[in-house]
Amino acid sequence: MLTLESLLDKHRRYEKEPDLDLIRHAYAFAEVAHLGKKRLNGEEEITHLLEVAGCLVDYHTDSVTLAAALLHDILEESEVDHEMLEKEFGEEITSLVDGLTVVRTASGRLEAGKSKNWENLRHLILASIHDPRVLVVRLADKIHNLRTSSVLTAEERGVSAQKVFDIWAPLAEILGLYRFKSEMEDLAFEILHPQDFKKIKSVVRLESEKIAQVVDSVSEKLSAELDRQNIPAEITSRTKHLFGVYRKMPRYESHAGGKMFDVLGLRVVTDKVENCYRTLDLARKFWKEVPEFFDDYVAHPKPNGYQSIHAVFEVDGQMIEIQIRTKEMHEMAEYGLAAHSVYKEKGDRHIAAAERIRLVESLLAWGKGQELDLFPDQVFVFTPKGDVKVLPKGATPVDFAFDVHTQIGRECAGARANGKAVSLDYPLKTGEVVEIITAKGRRPSSDWLRFAKTGHARSEIEKVVRG
């Protein structure tokens, strides 16, 4: 079982200037705040909080993020309020814990919605966060909840597992958190399709045993040649996660003659881009490449910033994948945004944005001390039933009303946002629940054209106003 001291020991190994006192303080504060509270599986709440932090320490997150993980349930599950938390830990940690509450509220509202436009739902969660570390902690929380979900009913486990594929795994991919994504998918796969899971697990084990000797020989030969050429490199073997294999089964059958070419493979980590291509050239001289499986994500990175060369070779009747990347690319691929240097900034907060932010394409606007705004031109709001509506920035209750239904727009007489009465020209904010008050016989006013934003709303207003 993970202990506080083992967590701190792991943190020391990668963090140059760890704030161990902060983490100890967060742990002690959470332990007192949650004293006597147990989870459904019988474990103490503090054990869950420590395990969530344990997930994050494996991602090399900073001390502040680990402290926030230990405190992530405190505003909702204890008597501690926002003012007390900020007085004890300051603005940054309180802001992260606040953000987690916002994300949990948003995802909770999604459950009530009948509409299942998952892309909109994922966008709403992203639009609700001001700092990507909020989502990193939420994903770690989700991981541990899945690991301990056996105490739930079959239906509850199924619903929770399905959300992995609909919401959480795609969000993990956006942030480059592939290890989180892989573990979540495997846990959810086992819950939703237990027989397929067992079958794939057995197939992967047998296939790995069959090609392990070939992989070892490729590693030895490539390593010797890299040494001879004075190319610094670390070569390790890697095993594909089970759901990834399951998802690729049709491709194995149709393009690889049933051979699982990437179930067990090699990863080469070198010092610079030039040596990535020199390593690829050496492999091509030794073994026959299968060109249809070649991907150069170094020259053409994935949208989330992932970079690596993927090449497949025929060796002794087996197909072996070799991934080649630099150390920096490897850290981004392994730890994603969670371990990005932007969190480790000490001293000058005004360092050029280009230096601080080598992030996912969609996160380029974010920096330390600057709130994250992934969708500057859109707002994501809820109907009272929990469905998500996507509107342009500055959209008003009138725009929302017409988006729900033309007749509701025409008879719009008032509005509430999060239960509070607002004017019809009120600019809606992401995450708000919007309720429209209608009155029979009500007609749009020409004044509405002054603030209506959507083309649909303006068109309908003009139809009525101009007769």
The residues, ordered by sequence, that sit 6+ positions from 422 with a Cβ below 8 Å of its Cβ are: 397, 415, 416
Q: Are residues 186 and 243 in the same domain?
A: no
pLDDT exceeds cutoff 70 at 78: yes
Q: Are residues 214 and 326 in the same domain?
A: yes
Domain residues for the domain of 246 are 201-335
Indicate whether 44 belongs to any domain: yes
Q: Are residues 208 and 315 in the same domain?
A: yes
pLDDT in tens, 329-369: 998 887 765 544 444 443 333 322 233 233 333 343 333 33
pLDDT in tens, 297-315: 999 888 667 899 999 999 9
First to last CA, the chain: 73
CATH number assigned to the domain comprising residue 417: 3.10.20.30
Over range 265-293, report the average pLDDT: 94
Q: Are residues 436 and 315 in the same domain?
A: no
State the pLDDT at residue 118.
67
Indicate whether 341 belongs to any domain: no
pLDDT in tens, 167-189: 888 888 877 778 889 999 999 99
Question: Which region among 296-300, 316-320, 350-354, 440-444 has the lowest average model confidence (pLDDT)?
Answer: 350-354
State the pLDDT at residue 343.
41
Q: Mark which of 282, 303, 335 sits at the end of a domain.
A: 335
Rounding to the nearest 10 degrees, give the CA dihedral for residues 359, 364, 365, 371.
-30
Q: Mark which of 192, 220, 242 sits at the end of a domain.
A: 192
- 0.85 exceeded by the pTM? no
Q: Are residues 19 and 154 in the same domain?
A: yes
Number of domains forming the structure of the chain: 3
Question: Which region among 86-95, 110-119, 166-175, 451-460 has the lowest average model confidence (pLDDT)?
Answer: 110-119
State the pLDDT at residue 466.
83
Helices (H), 58-177: 63-70, 74-77, 82-112, 118-128, 132-147, 154-163, 169-174
CATH number assigned to the domain comprising residue 178: 1.10.3210.10
- The distance between the two most distant Cα atoms of the chain, rounded to a whole number of Å, is 86
On whether the CB atoms of residues 201 and 242 are closer than 8 A, the answer is yes
Indicate whether 359 belongs to any domain: no
Q: Are residues 253 and 382 in the same domain?
A: no
CA-to-CA distance for 269 and 326, rounded, in angstroms?
5
Q: Are residues 237 and 166 in the same domain?
A: no
pLDDT in tens, 37-61: 999 888 999 999 999 999 999 888 8
Percentage of the chain exceeding pLDDT 70: 84
Indicate whether 372 belongs to any domain: no
Q: Are residues 17 and 156 in the same domain?
A: yes
Question: Which region among 61-70, 96-105, 126-135, 256-265 has the lowest average model confidence (pLDDT)?
Answer: 256-265
**Among candidate residues 391, 362, 408, 397, the one with its CA nearest the CA of residue 454:** 391
CATH number assigned to the domain comprising residue 278: 3.30.460.10
Indicate whether 370 belongs to any domain: no
Q: Mark which of 136, 158, 192 sits at the end of a domain.
A: 192
